[in-house]
Amino acid sequence: MSGECWLVCEGHVLASAERADDRRSRARGLLGRSGISGALVLSQCRSVHTLGMKFAIDVAHLDGEGTVLKITHMRRNRIGVPVWKATTVVEAEAGAFERWGLKVGDQVELRE
């Protein structure tokens, strides 16, 4: 992992987040974990999978401006469909985005 930050939407902090900025941290993702309290942000990413994961996740695909293009709920052991206009993916435990009020069209930013 490359560091911690805050996931912010419209000036409100949604959650703490971990950055996965390098190839190794993106490949590992949330594998081997039993959960996550905040979010994982994968840069240079268009699709994810949940093969071998221990829990279901919410997935948000963001464009280069941080706009949420698509939100998907992924059960365990699934392969996601790539979102070609996405540059970043945000992962969180299933149900987190609904609790946070995150939706398609929202503008998301990462703050140190």
CATH 2.60.120.1140 fits 3-111, yes or no: yes
Contacts of residue 45, defined as CB under 8 A and 6 or more positions apart, other chains included, come to 26, 86, 87, 88, 89
Between 22 and 7, the higher pLDDT residue: 7
Mean per-residue pLDDT, 22-41: 78
pLDDT of residue 2: 62
Contact 26, 42 (CB under 8 A): yes
- pLDDT reading at 74 higher than 90: yes
Whether residue 1 is predicted with pLDDT greater than 60 in this model: the reply is no
Average pLDDT over residues 18-29: 77
